[in-house]
A and B are shown apart, each in its own frame.
Chain A
């Protein structure tokens, strides 16, 4: 999410190339995390695979649309996204708890075997959960894929909203599952960018190698880094970049 603004605003790269390079960064992040942690008990593979039908289709549509719209619209959308993310991060800083679990099993979710369970390390308990509103979640996932393909982002926040807010899946399995989905979603739009010439290796390769190296180090220090501190560092940066990109969309450069 931070890569496109840095490449365009700070380094002056045309946004189409920045988006393609950034989607490679998303894949590197997702694959890097998978190999660093090897496996994740929180993950719900069925939810991931089922909802990926929505995200991958969205991502393809997004990648095609990006090639057709003028770049100031892309700046505008990206700026709006960053401002939204800033708001979302501030909301998390203030504090957010798990949504109330679905009280009755959903027929479609049961048929699709989407209900799962995970081991909560904090309470040391196996938690069973059910999910609900599958069509709503799928629709949101299509939107998340669209945003991912259009703007070269992982759209993790949108995916978590789809699972946790709409489908009432607990937050921990939601974010673990969204990490897995990010890579597959990004692969869909990345192949479009790869073959249509938007992917520039001299930009994407150093990015990908840096991220994979960082993921290995990050997985060692992340558990001891307080998330709250990270958010407090990132909120002003992302907020500032969002405003700057919005202005760029309107033709103003600071």
Chain B
């Protein structure tokens, strides 16, 4: 009985792990595409970006994007890359829901909240 229960849990975990892997793959590919576009743009625009004046606020990144600035595009790509592990946390919350593991739905949500707090601290701190 205990063995069967464990095997079943193992099967579910396997399925969920595969799902997480696929979603992560999409996230990483999206980040890579944007990063590559940014890099190509930088090579074409040839400007001097080593000034430390890259846009790092939502507003400046957005206006930079509208003007087709390479550094703004690259910042978006980097942000997407930073979000890939966050995506993993989000999918894990779903995974624990599927397994009816309420304790871990909570624990994983706490991790997600901490990550959100990090963003707020970075933005306003």
Contact = CB atoms under 8 A, between A and B. Distances in A.
Interface of A: 17, 24, 27-28, 30-32, 34-35, 37-40, 43, 45-46, 49-50, 52-53, 56-57, 59-60, 63-64, 112-113, 117, 180, 183-184, 186-197, 199-202, 204-206, 208-209, 212
Contact of B122 (A27, A37, A46, A193): A193
A195 B78 contact: no
A60 B82 contact: no
A38 B119 contact: no
A164 B22 CA distance: 29
Contacts of A186: 85
Contacts of A32: 28
Interface string B9-29: 000011001101110110110
Given A60-B117, A202-B71, A191 B95 contact: no
B103 A113 contact: yes
Contact of B110 (A34, A53, A194, A200): A53
Nearest to B73: A201
A63 B85 CA distance: 18
Interface of B: 6, 13-14, 17-18, 20-22, 24-25, 27-28, 32, 35-36, 38-39, 42, 49-50, 52, 54, 56-57, 71, 74-75, 77-79, 81-86, 88-89, 92, 95, 101, 103-104, 107-108, 110-111, 114-115, 117-119, 121-123, 125
Given A31-B24, A204-B78, A205-B78, A184 B88 contact: yes
Given A187-B86, A201-B74, A49 B36 contact: no
Contacts of A187: 82-86, 115, 118
Contacts, number: 166
Given A60-B117, A195-B119, A209-B32, 10 more contacts: A17-B52, A31-B27, A31-B84, A49-B108, A52-B89, A187-B115, A192-B125, A194-B122, A205-B77, A206-B39
A212 B84 CA distance: 13
Contacts of B39: 205-206, 209
Interface of B, helix, strand, loop or mixed by DSSP: helix
Q: Secondary structure of the A side of the interface? A: helix
Given A57-B114, A60-B117, A39 B20 contact: yes
26 contacts: A24-B81, A28-B81, A31-B24, A32-B28, A35-B24, A38-B21, A39-B21, A40-B17, A45-B13, A50-B104, A50-B107, A53-B110, A60-B114, A112-B103, A113-B101, A183-B85, A187-B115, A188-B114, A191-B122, A194-B75, A197-B52, A201-B78, A204-B74, A205-B38, A206-B39, A212-B32
A202 B86 CA distance: 24
Q: Most chain-B Cβ atoms within 10 A of its Cβ — which of A59, A113, A189, A204?
A: A204
Contacts of A37: 21
A103 B101 CA distance: 27
Given A60-B121, A183-B84, A189-B118, A34 B42 contact: no
B78 A199 contact: yes
A56 B24 contact: no
A228 to B, nearest CB: 29
A191 B18 CA distance: 27
| 4 closest A-B pairs by CB | A195-B122, A201-B74, A183-B85, A192-B122
Given A53-B107, A192-B125, A194-B78, A201 B49 contact: yes
